[in-house]
Amino acid sequence: MGITSMATAIHPETGKLGFLLDVPFPSAREATIALRSLSPDREPRRGGINKHLSVSESTLSVRWSADEARILRVSVNSFLDHLSLIVETMDLFAPPVDL
């Protein structure tokens, strides 16, 4: 599994930082498992950051919007830690996917 695209930008109208991440999975089933596993994790701060997760076919897409680079960095790092754990768990316990 590899990350296929990443982008950072400052939204011209709001001045917020944005970060986009697309993570391909071998199947739509695994992408959905990752989405469901990551969705309950809300950001601990009430303000300053928003995160939106979605699945299209076998790709998990994540979009962040943040007021500060530090808050964005902490959220993305935490997300990647959780994603890594989920992928390792699926590799250990999930049945093999027929290609």
Nearest Cα residue to 16 out of 61, 52, 69: 69
Tokens encoding 38: 């990551």
Tell me the pLDDT tens digit for each residue of 59-72: 999 999 999 999 99
- Identify residue 32 by its one-letter amino acid code: T
> How far apart are the C-alpha atoms of 9 and 76, rounded to whole Å?
14
pLDDT of residue 93: 86
Query: 89 in helix, strand or coil?
Result: helix
CA distances, 61 to each of 12, 13, 15, 25, 84 (Å): 22, 23, 22, 11, 15
The pTM score is 0.80
pLDDT of residue 96: 64
Tell me the pLDDT tens digit for each residue of 5-60: 566 667 667 778 999 999 999 999 999 999 999 986 565 656 788 999 999 999 99
Please, what are the domains in the chain?
5-93 (3.30.310.50)
SS3 percent helix, strand, coil of the chain, rounded to 5, is 35, 30, 35
pLDDT of residue 43: 57
- Identify residue 3 by its one-letter amino acid code: I
